[in-house]
Amino acid sequence: MKKMYVAGVDIGGQTAKIGIVDRKGTILARKVISTKYKDADKFITLLSDSIREMTADIGLENLNGVGVGAPDGNYYTGDIVEATNLMWAKGKTVHFANDLSKKLGGLKVTITNDANAAAIGEMKYGAAKGMKNFIEITLGTGVGSGIVIDGKLVYGHDGFAGELGHTCAVKGGRDCGCGQKGCLECYCSATGVARTAVEMLSKSRAKSLLRGKRDITSKDVFDAAEKGDKLAIKIFADTGRIMGEKFADFIPFSAPEAIILFGGLTHAKDYFLEQLVDSMNENVVFLWKGKVKVLVSALNESDAAILGASALAW
Amino acid sequence: MKKMYVAGVDIGGQTAKIGIVDRKGTILARKVISTKYKDADKFITLLSDSIREMTADIGLENLNGVGVGAPDGNYYTGDIVEATNLMWAKGKTVHFANDLSKKLGGLKVTITNDANAAAIGEMKYGAAKGMKNFIEITLGTGVGSGIVIDGKLVYGHDGFAGELGHTCAVKGGRDCGCGQKGCLECYCSATGVARTAVEMLSKSRAKSLLRGKRDITSKDVFDAAEKGDKLAIKIFADTGRIMGEKFADFIPFSAPEAIILFGGLTHAKDYFLEQLVDSMNENVVFLWKGKVKVLVSALNESDAAILGASALAW
């Protein structure tokens, strides 16, 4: 009997989204559970119970497998390794795929990091449909990436390939959570945009709606830009230029057809996309000037990661 | 009847090396011809005549194909595109594979760039034997690269992937032949080393065997280093550090098992390799600190490109 369904699970710092998905990518059932547990086993039990519950009518035996997208998820080992954003995986290795599989009677569990899952979702259902070479860049709290070459996701020697958020954007620049300085993630993530705001406010004396605000977020910067705030608009423009410079460095590696942007920060694309493309084309070697598309994801954000994760399980 | 031989051709700015190779990688016959012609057809005719001549005893019909490594050779199209180092392909596109095939009675001709050919040779016969993920960096007049992921050479969307010599090593740095500024090639090639020498001599007042020398080459710098010249030693140390910083940026892309150095400049490895590895490990994100090997090619330099090119033709 052909198994018709898979479960796709997108694990984030706050919640995990679970979906039961058919071959066409239709999500038949959804559930959101908290990930804020200190104990990995507690979370994995809750997840496996949820999957059992959600498949009660179709039967667990009709599930082809479970695909999981998680921060620092390793495709080769099935582990989640030192995920700073997950309370139960901070500073340690959780044998996630193995443990979840045991609780689901040996069902196959495949795991990868969240950005890779987004790239797979994009290729199957989104803006990269039909593409064989592209780079998915996720612009969320951090900057992640999933790289597809010749139709296949790149995992590399150890399963951790595609950490473009931790390449150097500004030599000797801002401290990054990873321990290095000047990583792309420190400038072009939501938190990076907020850091740029604080920096610019302290450096300039220009008027801005952001002045005097506490704990500025990228959403604050976006709202200010929408109201015509010049400083906010400049923050996004500079963010775009830094991204473009770095993209110019990624292109000679894999010669992608497109670079696809995914995640919360893309809502502000009107304020940075043009600058990004201009700076990318200025800085890339002549072979690719004007030749690499920069697209915004065609996936519904809340579904994308579920679909990407589910695609792993086919 | 099984065809037992292929021809491997390594095209450089001065000469082309031709080899007739068997399945084990034994080079049965060799020939070197000049590439210094203004007319592409003239060179292609000479090359095809040479291959015919070299296979006179085994018979052209026993040749499985011809593999060619050439600057700016494109695997997908078979063309050599705007190769600044080849008189007959400067600023234009030469349909090389197609034209050579015609002159050889329709024999299959496969082409790729010289660094890719070196990577293939390394994987089949050299330091990357058994590796599925590595990056070959060629340090010659320029800096080239061939990237292998999951056992396959990366060509990308357009066939030009792996131009790591034209990623940015120093923002706003030296003018590069490609039109950009600060490319890795401007610092870590043989010409880059010579440029560093000129720059350092003009900046410092330190004594050096290089002072007063005209048209300094990387060989001069190497000879001076061998004699204990401190400035020359510093030139290579700085070169190593710049390479290491950039390698730290390449690793998060494809998570290679090793980065393999190939080409003339590796003769000076005693003066830069340690600094390279240190700076790579300092600058790379924690996931790969101390984990990626940096190796020097195990291929005889003059054979490597022929073998790599020949491997294309199997």
In DSSP terms, A110 is beta-bridged to A67
Which of A159, A171, A255 comes nearest B156 by C-beta?
A255
Q: CA nearest B177 in A: which residue?
A: A285
pLDDT at A3: 74
Which of B253, B283, B291 comes nearest A168 by C-beta?
B283
Mean pLDDT across A94-116 = 95
CB A241 within 8 A of CB A275: yes
| pLDDT tens digits, A222-264 | 999 999 999 999 999 999 999 999 999 999 999 999 999 999 9
Asked whether the beta carbons of residue B168 and residue A245 sit closer than 8 angstroms, the reply is: yes
pLDDT at B49: 97
When pLDDT is cut at 50, 70 and 90, the band that residue B171 belongs to is very high
Q: Which two tokens stand for residue B267?
A: 């003769």
C-alpha B81/C-alpha B83 separation (Å) is 6
Name chain A contacts of B157, Cβ cutoff 8 Å.
Answer: 132-133, 255-257
Give the best residue of B166, B241, B286 to mutate against chain A (max A CB count within 10 A).
B166
CB within 8 Å of B221: residues ≥ 6 apart: B193, B194, B197, B210, B232, B235, B236, B268
Q: Which two tokens stand for residue A235?
A: 């923050």
pLDDT at A300: 79
pLDDT at B84: 79
Mean pLDDT across B42-71 = 94
Check CB contact of A248 with chain B, cutoff 8 Å. yes
pLDDT at B2: 66
CB A99 within 8 A of CB A93: no
Mean pLDDT across B179-204 = 96
**Would you call A6 helix, strand, or coil by DSSP?**
strand
Beta-strand relationship, B134-139 and B258-262? parallel
Asked whether the beta carbons of residue B157 and residue A252 sit closer than 8 angstroms, the reply is: no
Q: How far is B112 from chain A (nearest CA, A)?
A: 15
Mean pLDDT across A69-97 = 92
Asked whether the beta carbons of residue A160 and residue B257 sit closer than 8 angstroms, the reply is: no
Mean pLDDT across B31-58 = 95
* pLDDT above 70 as % of chain B: 99
Asked whether the beta carbons of residue A249 and residue B249 sit closer than 8 angstroms, the reply is: yes
Asked whether the beta carbons of residue A154 and residue B252 sit closer than 8 angstroms, the reply is: no
Name chain A contacts of B156, Cβ cutoff 8 Å.
Answer: 133, 149, 254-256
pLDDT at A314: 84
pLDDT at A2: 66
Q: Is the pLDDT of residue A82 over 90?
A: no
CB A7 within 8 A of CB A22: no
Beta-strand relationship, B63-69 and B109-112? parallel
Interface of A with B in 75-134 (CB under 8 A): 132-133
C-alpha B278/C-alpha A286 separation (Å) is 32
Q: What is the mean pLDDT of chain B?
A: 94
C-alpha B138/C-alpha B251 separation (Å) is 17
pLDDT at A188: 98
When pLDDT is cut at 50, 70 and 90, the band that residue A78 belongs to is very high
Q: Is the pLDDT of residue B1 over 70?
A: no
Name chain B contacts of A257, Cβ cutoff 8 Å.
Answer: 157
The ipTM assigned to this model is 0.92
Q: Is the pLDDT of residue A172 over 60?
A: yes
C-alpha B156/C-alpha B11 separation (Å) is 22
Mean pLDDT across B85-114 = 94
Q: Is the pLDDT of residue B105 over 90?
A: yes
pLDDT at A38: 94
| pLDDT tens digits, A187-206 | 999 999 999 999 999 999 99
Check CB contact of A37 with chain B, cutoff 8 Å. no
Asked whether the beta carbons of residue A286 and residue B183 sit closer than 8 angstroms, the reply is: no
Q: CA nearest B160 in A: which residue?
A: A255
C-alpha B27/C-alpha B37 separation (Å) is 26
- DSSP assignment of chain B, as one string? ----EEEEEEE-SSEEEEEEEETT--EEEEEEEE---S-HHHHHHHHHHHHHHHTTTT-GGGEEEEEEE-TTB-TTT--EE--TT-GGGTTSEE-HHHHHHHHTTT--EEEE-HHHHHHHHHHHHSTTTT-SSEEEEEESSSEEEEEEETTEE--TTTS----GGGSBSSTT-SB-TTS-BSBTHHHHSHHHHHHHHHHHHHH-----TTTT-SS--HHHHHHHHHTT-HHHHHHHHHHHHHHHHHHHHHHHHH--SEEEEESGGGGGGGGTHHHHHHHHHHHS-GGGTTTSEEEE--S-HHHHHHHHHHHHT-
Interface of A with B in 133-152 (CB under 8 A): 133, 147, 149-150, 152
Check CB contact of A166 with chain B, cutoff 8 Å. yes
Q: Provide the whole-model pTM.
A: 0.93
pLDDT at A224: 98
Nearest CA to B145 among A255, A144, A247? A255
Mean pLDDT across A290-308 = 89
pLDDT at A85: 79
C-alpha B246/C-alpha B167 separation (Å) is 8
Q: Is the pLDDT of residue A169 over 80?
A: yes
When pLDDT is cut at 50, 70 and 90, the band that residue B96 belongs to is very high
When pLDDT is cut at 50, 70 and 90, the band that residue B149 belongs to is very high
| pLDDT tens digits, B61-72 | 889 999 999 988
Q: What is the mean pLDDT of chain A?
A: 94
Neighbours of B108 (CB within 10 A): 14
Q: Which two tokens stand for residue B213?
A: 């020398």
Asked whether the beta carbons of residue B132 and residue A253 sit closer than 8 angstroms, the reply is: no
Mean pLDDT across A12-33 = 92
Q: What is the DSSP letter of A93?
A: E
Name chain B contacts of A182, Cβ cutoff 8 Å.
Answer: none
CB within 8 Å of B61: residues ≥ 6 apart: B3
| pLDDT tens digits, B223-254 | 999 999 999 999 999 999 999 999 999 999 99
| pLDDT tens digits, B276-295 | 999 999 999 999 999 999 99
Q: Is the pLDDT of residue A1 over 70?
A: no
Nearest CA to A193 among A211, A218, A167? A218
Nearest CA to B185 among B202, B162, B168, B208? B168
Q: Is the pLDDT of residue B185 over 60?
A: yes
Size of interface A-B (CB pairs under 8 A): 129
CB A69 within 8 A of CB A112: yes
| pLDDT tens digits, B210-221 | 999 999 999 999
Q: CA nearest A292 in B: which residue?
A: B157
Contacts 24+ apart (CB under 8 A), A128-134: A128/A258, A128/A260, A131/A257, A131/A258, A132/A257, A132/B157, A133/A254, A133/A255, A133/A256, A133/A257, A133/B156, A133/B157, A133/B161, A134/A256, A134/A257, A134/A258, A134/A259, A134/A260
CB A185 within 8 A of CB A192: yes
